[in-house]
């Protein structure tokens, strides 16, 4: 659920009201000013959350656990199997409707789905364990 910042809401309302009064010729300056305030608000929130996490770790709370390697294997395996099973009828449909080009596009999609899943899963795991520079095997 999104939390609403009353100050940010007031800033947005003021920016919109000012735009109505000044007209569209000042729109870019008003937008830039509002985005700067939004950036500052996000920066404050991120810093606050980071400080809270550091305090929890300093108090002895356990850092987030690394995902189980077995679970990761089975997730990858399931996506690969499902994508290959679905690729069979999709390949037939692609060949009938678009020939060789359709088949190539179909298989590019299958490879793409598996690649994105693999890379996305790694990014999630690296984020969970808090290490973005170490590969997950």
Local confidence band at 1 (pLDDT 50, 70, 90 cut-offs): very low
Over residues 109-119, mean pLDDT: 83
CA distance 129 to 126: 5
3-state helix vs strand vs coil in the chain, percent to 5? 80, 0, 20
Residue in the block written with tokens 């790694």 = 122
pLDDT above 80 (res 50) = yes
pLDDT in tens, 65-112: 555 666 777 777 888 888 888 888 989 998 999 999 999 999 998 888
From CA 110, how far away is CA 50, in angstroms rounded? 38
Asked if residues 34 and 12 have their Cβ atoms less than 8 Å apart, the reply is yes
Longest CA–CA separation in the chain, Å: 64
Q: Given this model, what pLDDT does residue 104 score?
A: 93
User: Taking the CA of residue 29 as centre, how many other CA atoms within 13 Å lie in the half-sphere pointing to its CB?
Assistant: 7
**Taking the model in full, what pTM does it have?**
0.40
Q: Cα–Cα distance between 96 and 107 in angstroms, integer?
A: 15
Q: Select, from the ranges 13-17, 25-29, 101-105, the one with the highest average predicted confidence (pLDDT).
A: 101-105
The Cα 132–Cα 123 span in angstroms is: 8
């Amino acid at each position: 659920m999104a939390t609403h910042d009353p100050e940010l809401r007031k800033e947005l309302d003021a920016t919109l009201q000012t735009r109505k009064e000044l007209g569209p010729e000042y729109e870019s300056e008003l937008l830039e000013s509002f985005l700067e305030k939004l950036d500052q608000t996000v920066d404050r929130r991120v810093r606050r959350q980071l400080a809270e996490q550091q305090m929890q770790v300093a108090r002895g709370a356990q850092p987030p656990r690394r995902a189980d390697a077995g679970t990761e294997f089975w997730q990858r395996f399931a996506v690969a199997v499902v994508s290959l099973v679905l690729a069979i009828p999709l390949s037939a449909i692609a060949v009938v409707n678009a020939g060789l080009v359709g088949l190539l596009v179909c298989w590019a999609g299958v490879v793409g789905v598996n690649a994105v899943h693999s890379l996305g899963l790694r990014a999630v795991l690296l984020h969970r364990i808090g290490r973005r520079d170490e590969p997950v095997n």
